Amino acid sequence: MKIRYQKIILALLFTGLFSCETTELGLTESPTQVSVDNLDPDFLFNNIQLGFGTFVENVAGGASFTASVSRQFAMTGGNTYDNAYAPINFNGIWSSAYSGILADIQALEPIAEELDLKYHLGVSKLFRAYVLISMVDLFGDIPYTEALQGNANTNPAPDNQVDVYIAMLSEIDEAIALLNGVASAYPPEDFYYSDGGTVDEDTQKSWVTAANTLKLRVLNNARLAGADLGINIAASINSILAGNNIIDSADEDWVLQYGSNRLNPSTRHPGYNRYYEDSAGGYMSNYLMWSMIAEKGFDDPRLAYYFYRQDTNATNEDVFTLGCVGANAPSQYANYSSIYDPAVGMPFCVASAPRGYWGRDHGDNGGIPPDDEKRTVFGLYPVGGSYDDGAGDSTQEEGSTGEQGAGITPLLTSFFVDFIKAESALTTGTTGDARVFLESAIRGSMAKVIGFLGVAGDATQNDVDNYVAFVLDAYDNALDDSKRLEIILKEYHIASYGNGMEAYNAYRRTGFPSNFQPTLVLTSGEFYNSVVYPANFVNLNSNATQKDRGERIFWDKSNISLH
């Protein structure tokens, strides 16, 4: 399932017409300056598709908050959780949801219902469910029943998060019912499924597959909270699996597909723009690179696809360029001596200095040295950058290198689904063999990454087979299901690169991977078990009270101390 930004250029011209952003949730009205009676539902549906992409990138993109706290990207905004983020950092997520896509969906609904536009309405409902479930997963209680009422209610109160989840599970069912019906008309463009071709009944059926898969993902994430939701999780998951209509092949993957257009407008992946123009924005996670270089004792076959080294040897750097050079690991790292195998060491300073894998440690906010053309950057997958062939060239070439940003943001892929099925089978006893699903998930990830965008790399089938054999041997020799679950979640953490939301939810749900690199400061403060409310919401809404980041989302019942 692909959103083809090459074909969105014309649609972008309408964005200013159909969307607005306001700092007050209750005053949100979209589209602006256009009477609802005069709206073209096709143009508005285009804008909804675009707004959904914006929201997903805000909450799950490769350099997002969720990726950073989950060690898929380096957290460098502060050296503790107390100072790494502030409420203002979450204004963008909030406004892209409420002032953007949710407002546009609300504007479309009466038109789509009147004209019996089942396709437009069904897909929009699916988007709304994804957005509001994600908002609960981040913030907990959020405005729902009182939201988007304009001047009728400028201070909408938050709803109970469980109630929102229940409502959105019903919304997914409503979307499926609509998409199983006969639409009176189809939109001229579907940026996700038509791939530039005709939008028709077959395209519509693809959305049913996506909706079933989203429901599977939501149920697995809430598998410890079935009683709260009034759902038998295992039975519900088994029912979906028995229906045999979920994303189970790569050609059904739900991804945001970016283009290679540089200007007017840029359709390139935001991760590419961060590193392949004239500067480098942020750092790769030393923990994730270490996981793929050192932890297993050999290179992950995806390594050269995920990361591109601008400098292939960091051993001769001085403290001016690489501030941690020559330093000892912080004292609290010693507490992890039982977690990190002495034979492979622990992630600190750089993931591998002799090989130039140069990122940052979790919570390293030590300023910006002159290392723009030295630090490791996003590679070929998923941002459409360069495959690392060892050349060690600078990527700051005004967007002219690599695959010029024609990458993806993975939402739900067939290998994500296999990881979900593996976790569910192991923990709730749902249909299937967790070990079989684990192998399929790893192989699916490898197939997606190796040869991404048609670029031939050095990874071989033998490399993949050896990797799979190593993981399955560890799985077979694990002492209990908890150890087996950690193996599944560790592999999911690596494979979900590019979607921080999956990694963030998985870590809070299970506490795995348990060997996450600690922050550099001993007293780092409580982990972000949930996200604090945005500054705009708290400061401008009389019914909003700031929350504590230690509050857990209702489905997070593990009571594991996260770090």
Instruction: Give residue limits of the domains in the chain.
Output: 2-258+532-540
Rounded Cα distance between 322 and 316, Å, is 10
Report, as an integer, the average pLDDT of 467-485. 98
336 pLDDT above the threshold of 80:
no
Residue 398: left if φ>0, alpha if ψ -120 to 50, beta else—which one? Answer: left
14 pLDDT above the threshold of 70:
no
Select from 96, 99, 105 the least CA-distant residue to 45: 105
CATH architecture of residue range(s) 2-258+532-540: Alpha Horseshoe (1.25)
The DSSP code for 350 is: B
10 pLDDT above the threshold of 70:
no
Rounded Cα distance between 247 and 270, Å, is 26
Rounded Cα distance between 195 and 111, Å, is 26
Tokens at 15, concatenated: 């964005």
Entry field: residues in the chain: 563
381 pLDDT above the threshold of 80:
yes
What does the pLDDT look like over 249-267, one tens digit per residue?
A: 999 999 888 999 999 889 9
What does the pLDDT look like over 116-157, one tens digit per residue?
A: 999 999 999 999 999 999 999 999 999 999 999 999 999 999
Concatenate the DSSP letters of all residues of 133-195 into one string.
HHHHHHHSSEE-TTTT-GGG-SSPPEEPHHHHHHHHHHHHHHHHHHHTS--S---S--TTTTT
E strands present in 390-532: 408-412
What does the pLDDT look like over 498-537, one tens digit per residue?
A: 999 999 999 999 999 999 998 988 888 999 999 999 999 9
pLDDT of residue 443: 98
Cα dihedral 311→313→319→322 (10° resolution): 50
Rounded Cα distance between 278 and 361, Å, is 24
Average pLDDT over all residues of the chain: 91
Tokens at 224, concatenated: 């410890």
What does the pLDDT look like over 42-94, one tens digit per residue?
A: 999 999 998 999 999 999 999 999 999 999 999 999 999 999 999 999 999 99
Rounded Cα distance between 361 and 368, Å, is 14
What does the pLDDT look like over 202-216, one tens digit per residue?
A: 999 999 999 999 999
SS3 assignment, position 124:
helix
What does the pLDDT look like over 280-326, one tens digit per residue?
A: 889 999 999 999 999 999 999 999 999 999 999 999 899 899 989 88
273 contact partners, CB below 8 Å, separation of at least 6: 266, 399, 405
User: Pairing mode, if any, of strands 254-257 and 2-4?
Assistant: parallel
pLDDT of residue 38: 67
Q: Is the pTM of this model over 0.85?
A: yes
Concatenate the DSSP letters of all residues of 388-425 into one string.
--S----S-STT-STTTT--EEEEE-HHHHHHHHHHHH
- Kindly give the interhelix angle for 201-221 and 414-428, rounded to the nearest 10 degrees: 40
At 35, the pLDDT band (50, 70, 90 cuts) reads: low
At 194, the pLDDT band (50, 70, 90 cuts) reads: confident
